[in-house]
């Protein structure tokens, strides 16, 4: 997998109501599934699909609403979403201000490039939420993974 995980992706989409557009153009540092309780709430399902990209690779048109919460690591995690339709956009951590954690579902219909390499926060994954058997599980954060 070395090297292949840093694919360059160019894709654009808008939220469900069209108020906010987001374009990704650049390298994807990591792709993962996250079963933390916050991702379960935000996704409305058992896990979220997340792509980590450099801040500079992301362009936003429109004004997202944000929500801050403390994460287990002591950092502040900020979710960005559309205030009108609720579509999740991306998250960021105060510990890694140059990284963006994109909700890959934002690019629905244009996200076949997504190839998660691991499941993080497997400690809160539910038995009903099926995840491919071959994906490595990490109970919380993977070293060097999601900050």
Q: Which listed residue (28, 36, 51, 53) binds Zn ion by CB under 5 A? A: 36
DSSP conformation class of 38: H
Q: Is 85 in the site for Zn ion (CB under 5 A)?
A: yes
Query: Considering beta carbons, is residue 8 or 95 the nearer one to Zn ion?
Result: 95
Mark 96-135 with x for binding to Zn ion (rule: CB under 5 A) and - for no binding. ----------------------------------------
Exposure letters 122-143 (e unless 16+ CB within 10 A, then b): bebbeeeeeeeeeeebbeebbe
Q: In this chain, which of 22, 31, 33, 39 binds Zn ion, going by CB under 5 A?
A: 39
Within 6-35, the residues that bind Zn ion by CB under 5 A are 15, 17, 19, 34
- CA-nearest of 38, 84, 42 to 65 is 84
Query: Judging by beta carbons within 10 Å of its beta carbon (0-12, 13-18, 19+), is residue 68 exposed, middle or buried?
Result: exposed
| Residues in Cβ contact with 48 at an 8 Å cutoff, skipping those fewer than 6 apart | 33, 34, 39, 40, 42, 88, 103, 105
Q: How far is the CB of 143 from Zn ion (least distance, A)?
A: 16
Is the Cβ of residue 85 or residue 115 nearer to Zn ion in the bound state? Answer: 85
Regarding 84 and contact with Zn ion (CB under 5 A), the answer is yes
Compute the least distance from the CB of residue 34 to Zn ion, in Å. 3
| Under 8 Å between Cβ of 132 and 31 | no
Site residues, Zn ion (CB under 5 A): 15, 17, 19, 34, 36, 39, 82, 84-85
């Amino acid at each position: 997998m070395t090297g292949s995980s840093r694919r360059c992706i160019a894709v654009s989409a808008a939220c469900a109501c069209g108020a906010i557009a987001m374009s990704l153009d650049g390298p994807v540092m990591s792709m993962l599934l996250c079963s933390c309780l916050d991702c379960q709430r935000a996704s409305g399902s058992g896990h979220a699909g997340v792509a980590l990209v450099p801040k500079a690779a992301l362009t936003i048109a429109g004004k997202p609403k944000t929500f801050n919460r403390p994460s287990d690591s002591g950092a502040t995690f900020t979710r960005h979403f559309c205030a009108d339709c609720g579509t999740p956009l991306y998250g960021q951590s105060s510990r890694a201000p140059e990284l963006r954690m994109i909700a890959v579902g934002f690019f629905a219909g244009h996200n076949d490039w997504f190839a998660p390499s691991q499941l993080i926060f497997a400690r809160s994954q539910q038995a009903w939420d099926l995840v491919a058997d071959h994906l490595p599980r990490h109970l919380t954060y993977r070293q060097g993974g999601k900050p």
